[in-house]
Each structure stands twice: as structure tokens, then as C-alpha cells.
């Protein structure tokens, strides 16, 4: 098995990638999505969303909706949780569920450590995992899929044509501002900061 990941500045691009991955035959249990929700774009005016702990847990733990997914595809199972250093996120799939399990078992200090640990355990380099976590902190969306060899190139192509971020370029951009690695004790971005960060990159496309 291989792990194929993509960071997106635009949630719509990420959700299209998830739908394409499922259409290509990758089981939804092997796909995960984690999206910044600092401005509450998801859950606003939605009575069916479980927001348990999403706000108050931002610095200490996780509030969780139906992360395992639901009938009809992974995106129907989106839930809201909180990641220390990131704040509220919308998430579904194995990566988020693993992070929450790590917190429950006191294996790590917070959900961010759980996500980074889950990604490195799945074969993602620690250096890349920190960029992915920081990308979500700054307003982005992370899509990750565990795939067999037959699906690896297909998944890579789907994420690429869905306009995933060039990770080396993004790491360089973060580093130029003095960033070194994701810090789960950092103050989460405000909605305004997350929007500004997204616009910085999407406006140059």
C-alpha cells in the first residue's frame, strides 16, 4: 500500500478530488479529508451537523461528528472536530479517526500530533506531514488516500489535476516567513487570517 496526499487551497477542488477517487474505485474507508473550518463555512445554518466540542475543544482535544463516513460516500460523513494549533476543522475518514483515537488513548499531545503520526506511519515523510498540517492551519484542505499499486498512479493523477498545491513550493513559501515546523501550541488562525492566506495563493492562479 502507498499513501497519496494533496493539500488544496480550495475546498471545492479537494471535494472533487475525493469524489473522483471514489469513482476510480478507491474505497471510501481508505480516503480522508481534513479542512480548515475557522470561519464556520461548514455547519452554518445546518441543523444536522454535530459540532460537539468544536469550539471549546480547540486547544485541548477534539469534538467529533461522523468521521467514519456515511452511506453515499465519504463526504456525506463529514464531522466537525478541533485540532490544537489549527482550531475547528471539517473532517472524515481514516486519518481524522486515527487522530481522535490517539487522543483518546493519550498516545500523543493532541490531534495534530495524531495526524502527523498517522501520516508518517502510513509512509508520508515527517517533513511533508508538518507542511500538510501547517497548510490546514492556514486555511487549506488535506486529502489523503491509502492505495494499492494499481491505484497509486491513478490517485496521483486525480490529485494533480484537481489542483493540489506544489508541496515543495509551499514549504519554501512558509520557510521564507521563518516557519520551521507545525506547532500544535500555536494560536489558530482567525477567519480573516485564513481567508487572506487562501487568497494569497488562489488569486495567482
List, for residues 18-68, the tens digit of each pLDDT value. 999 999 999 999 999 999 999 888 876 554 444 443 333 333 333 444 444
Whether 113 and 102 have beta carbons less than 8 Å apart is answered as: yes
Give the highest mean pLDDT range of 51-55, 94-98, 125-129, 185-189.
125-129
Helix, strand, coil % in the chain, rounded to nearest 5: 45, 15, 40
- Print the domain residue range for 94: 2-202
- Scanning the structure block, which residue is given the C-alpha cell 479537494? 14
Please tell me whether residue 54 adopts helix, strand or coil conformation.
coil
Give burial (CB, 10 Å; 0-12/13-18/19+) of 40: middle
Among positive and negative, which fits the CA dihedral 47, 51, 52, 56? negative
Query: What is the number of structural domains in the chain?
Result: 1
Query: Which one is predicted more confidently, 14 or 68?
Result: 14
List, for residues 187-204, the tens digit of each pLDDT value. 999 999 999 998 888 765
List, for residues 136-178, the tens digit of each pLDDT value. 999 999 999 999 988 999 999 999 999 999 999 999 999 999 9
Which has the closest alpha carbon to 171: 131, 127, 115, 120? 131
| pTM score | 0.82
What does DSSP assign to residue 125?
A: -
Amino acid at each position: 500500500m502507498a499513501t497519496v496526499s494533496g493539500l488544496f487551497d480550495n475546498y471545492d477542488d479537494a471535494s472533487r478530488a475525493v469524489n473522483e477517487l471514489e469513482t476510480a474505485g478507491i474505497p471510501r474507508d481508505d480516503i480522508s479529508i481534513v479542512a480548515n473550518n475557522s470561519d464556520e463555512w461548514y455547519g452554518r445554518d445546518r441543523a444536522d451537523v454535530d459540532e460537539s466540542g468544536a469550539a471549546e475543544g480547540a486547544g485541548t482535544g477534539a469534538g467529533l461528528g461522523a468521521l467514519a463516513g456515511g452511506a453515499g460516500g465519504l463526504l456525506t460523513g463529514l464531522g466537525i472536530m478541533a485540532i490544537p494549533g489549527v482550531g475547528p476543522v471539517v473532517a472524515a475518514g481514516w486519518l481524522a479517526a486515527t487522530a481522535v483515537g490517539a487522543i483518546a488513548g493519550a498516545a500523543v499531545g493532541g490531534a495534530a500530533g495524531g495526524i502527523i503520526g498517522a501520516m508518517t506511519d502510513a509512509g508520508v515523510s515527517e517533513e511533508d506531514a508538518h507542511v500538510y498540517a501547517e497548510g490546514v492551519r492556514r486555511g487549506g484542505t488535506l486529502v489523503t488516500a491509502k492505495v494499492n499499486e494499481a491505484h497509486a498512479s491513478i490517485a496521483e493523477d486525480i490529485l494533480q489535476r484537481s489542483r493540489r498545491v506544489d508541496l515543495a513550493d509551499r514549504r519554501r513559501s512558509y520557510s521564507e516567513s521563518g516557519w520551521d515546523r507545525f506547532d500544535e501550541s500555536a494560536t489558530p488562525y482567525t477567519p480573516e487570517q485564513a481567508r487572506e492566506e487562501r487568497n494569497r495563493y488562489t488569486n495567482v492562479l
